[in-house]
Amino acid sequence: MHRFRVLWTVAIEALRRNKTRSALTALGIVIGVGCVVAMIGIGQGSRAAVQAQIKDLGTNFLLVYAGAATQSGARIFTGQPTLTEEDVAAVRAECPSVAAVSSYSRTAAQVAAGGLNWGTSIQGVDIQWALVRAWPVQSGAFFEWTDVRSASKVYLLGATVAQELFGRDDPVGQAVRIKNIPFRVVGVLAVKGASMTGQDQDDTVIAPYTTVMKLLKGATKIDAFLASAASRGAIDDAQAEITALLRQRHRILAGQDDDFIVRTQEEIARTADETSRTFTILLGTAAALSLLVGGIGIMNIMLVSVTERTHEIGIRMAIGAKSRDILTQFLIEAITLAVAGGAIGVAFGVGASRLLAWRAGWPIALSPEGIALAFSFSAAVGVFFGFYPARKASHLDPIDALRFE
């Protein structure tokens, strides 16, 4: 222990004699570790944000949309309407794993109130949409089944549309026009926030799908329908039941492709997670390369140091220092540079992450495990890149070292 303390003291003193060089050497590690911490924070934050937004899709969510077909061996989306209101009614009645289902028809239009207007999406749904999407009403109430059956001219506003058209005034009960057709606002939806693609989910209007189809689109078939499985464990069963029922209703024979696509929340989450994971790996790899460059800098400077201190090494060996003592001393110097740079780099990375979160609005998630990994990697870099110069110093011939000028 005493021998190690002496070696530690000698190593630190050697670094202090060359403060500027030591600081510049550690700077490479500082930048590398800082980049690793910041990139891990951005990557993990991005994944967490995507998963949170997928959960906002609704409870045990399934999306069924029309138009899938195979042409020339390639599976593509043709956009042909193949789903009907009767299909939705059949799913509601005959699929035990499905807790709620809503028809869906979408268009876009200018919404006007008083002297103001706002371009937004118009989503046509039925009353179970709120259950599927887990989207409560902030004020007013959702429309009724009677509104759906009679294609009533009523709708709910998303928070963004309500703000743009009415400001702080309560829009419930107010008249709003879509394509010069007067509608009555029956409610305002709770704030949902941005989707996983960055789109403002609150920039929307919700109306009975029959109203959208008849008055705004002139369509006879729905675009899609949204469903919610009875539980998380029932999602696969719900998907299988919907697929089997629609194939039967659409008279699709064995071996023929479906004319619809069923996507589950799990599939959407898996795809988004893989994309986010790839993004994180790319960022982490780029940051790790900068840390690798910092390690090469340490090895380069340590080799220069060995050359400059060859005579000193010869004197130490002549008075009794063993090869392992020389090896340990130079390893201590390399590890000290790496660890000190790693500690400063962690602080730099955390600060840079928080600055990005504040200025750019990027989601950041800094985990203790990620920080510990970056710091440990910096220490490993010190050992790896410091070992060769230390070994070279420890294998110097004392006689040749003493003659070195």
Strands 224-229 and 61-66: antiparallel
Separation of alpha carbons 230 and 237, rounded Å: 10
Region of 248 please: left (phi>0), alpha (psi -120 to 50) or beta.
alpha
pLDDT at 74: 52
Say if CB 95 and CB 239 are below 8 A apart.
no
Separation of alpha carbons 290 and 278, rounded Å: 19
What type of residue sits at position 133?
R
Q: How far is CA 15 from the centre of its chain?
A: 42
Number of Cβ within 10 Å of residue 276's Cβ equals 20
Unique residue bearing structure tokens 């069923």: 262
Q: Residues with Cβ < 8 Å from 45, sequence gap 6 or more?
A: 357, 362, 363, 364, 365
Instruction: Read off the pTM.
Output: 0.59
Tell me which DSSP letter residue 234 carries. G
Residues 316-334 pLDDT 10s: 677 776 777 777 777 777 7
Q: What are phi and psi of 260, to 5 degrees?
A: -155, 165
For the chain, residues with pLDDT lower than 70 are 1-8, 10-11, 14, 46-59, 67-80, 194-198, 265-277, 279-280, 283-284, 287, 307-314, 316, 321, 360-363, 390, 393-405
Q: Residues with Cβ < 8 Å from 34, sequence gap 6 or more?
A: 345, 346, 348, 349, 352
pLDDT at 18: 74
Separation of alpha carbons 392 and 332, rounded Å: 15
Query: What is each CA distance from 202 to 49, 191, 261, in whole angstroms?
Result: 17, 6, 26
Please state the domain extents for the chain.
2-53+271-403, 83-249
pLDDT at 352: 81
pLDDT at 328: 75
Say if CB 260 and CB 246 are below 8 A apart.
yes
Separation of alpha carbons 109 and 121, rounded Å: 6
pLDDT at 214: 92
pLDDT at 287: 67
Separation of alpha carbons 65 and 231, rounded Å: 21
pLDDT at 187: 93
Strands 137-140 and 61-66: unpaired
pLDDT at 198: 61
Separation of alpha carbons 342 and 382, rounded Å: 10
Separation of alpha carbons 35 and 288, rounded Å: 8
Tell me which DSSP letter residue 259 carries. S
